[in-house]
Amino acid sequence: MTHQVVFSAAAEKDVAELLAYLVPEAGERTARAWVDRLIVYCEGFATFPERGTRRDDIAPGLRTIGYRRRATIAFRGDGNVVVILRMLHGGRALEAVEDIDDE
């Protein structure tokens, strides 16, 4: 069964902030390639939406998974839809994110 993957407004903002951070550090080409791979990875949840670790301690139905030891992806499955809630880079703690339950 294939699920639809959608990105929340907060996740889209995370991508923009990630690019703004990475471009000066790694160059535009490298930064965009890394972010593109991150997005493709998220789109893979269409096939396997229940991977990662359940984090009901933060929000009901929340799951998280790491990406290349550099990012944390927070998402939730809701029927046939997987919502990517946040994409946090580096050491940003998921517990400190106040709007994790907003979609």
Which residues lie closer than 8 Å to 18 by C-beta, 6 or more apart? 35, 38, 71, 87, 89
CA distances from 22 to 5, 16, 25, 27, 31 (A): 25, 10, 5, 7, 5
- For the chain, percent of residues with pLDDT exceeding 90: 56
Measured CA to CA, the distance from residue 95 to residue 59 in angstroms comes to 10
Measured CA to CA, the distance from residue 61 to residue 28 in angstroms comes to 35
In this prediction, residue 99 carries a pLDDT of 57
Average pLDDT of the segment spanning 69-82: 90
pLDDT band at 70 (very low <50, low <70, confident <90, very high): confident
Q: Is the pLDDT of residue 94 over 70?
A: no
Which residues lie closer than 8 Å to 16 by C-beta, 6 or more apart? none
Give me the domains of the chain, ranges plus CATH numbers. 4-96 (3.30.2310.20)
In this prediction, residue 37 carries a pLDDT of 95
pLDDT (tens digit per residue) in 24-63? 989 999 999 999 999 999 999 999 888 899 998 888 999 9
**pLDDT top residue among 96 and 42:** 42
